[in-house]
Amino acid sequence: MTRTFPIAAAAALLLAGCGTEAEQAKDADTADHSAMDHSGHDMGEGTPAALTEAQAAYKAANDAMHAGMADIPADPDVAFMQGMLAHHKGAVAMSEVALKYAKDEKARDLATRIIAAQKGEIAEMESWLKAREAK
């Protein structure tokens, strides 16, 4: 015979462990977390770990790409082309970083192919935008 736990009893157990927001905040403030390993996490304390040269290069490419994608025109066609243009340029920049730092031959091969494919599409998007005087 299968026994079922009454829903009301399950709910009561769940709620009993929750407490109020104020109680939870107090518990969080007074809890001893000294035994927890927070290494590798940016907990907002002190200076974050320095980036490697490769990480800094990827971050710069990523930041430039997202900055280029931040301005979204009202025209959906222009918005697509400009956003994809920034995205493709970011892919090329990241691929160039990979060619400089990556050691895995498959990663390097993919980076090379991405550069070739994206540069062709970049030219196509720039031509489209230029024809519409959108960029």
Q: Which residue from 45, 37, 94 is spatially nearest to 65, judged by alpha carbons?
A: 94
Q: What is the mean pLDDT of residues 1-6?
A: 47
pLDDT in tens, 72-129: 999 999 999 999 999 999 999 999 999 999 999 999 999 999 999 999 999 999 999 9
pLDDT in tens, 90-103: 999 999 999 999 99
User: Domain segments of the chain: what residues?
Assistant: 53-131
Q: How far apart are CA 110 and CA 95, in angstroms?
A: 8
Contact by Cβ (8 Å): 61, 90: yes
Q: Can you read off the two tokens belonging to residue 45?
A: 């304390």
Contact by Cβ (8 Å): 98, 57: no
Instruction: Name the pTM for this structure.
Output: 0.62
Largest CA distance in the chain: 76
Q: Which residue from 95, 79, 77, 92 is spatially nearest to 123, judged by alpha carbons?
A: 92
Helical H segments across the chain, by residue range: 7-16, 21-30, 53-70, 76-101, 105-131
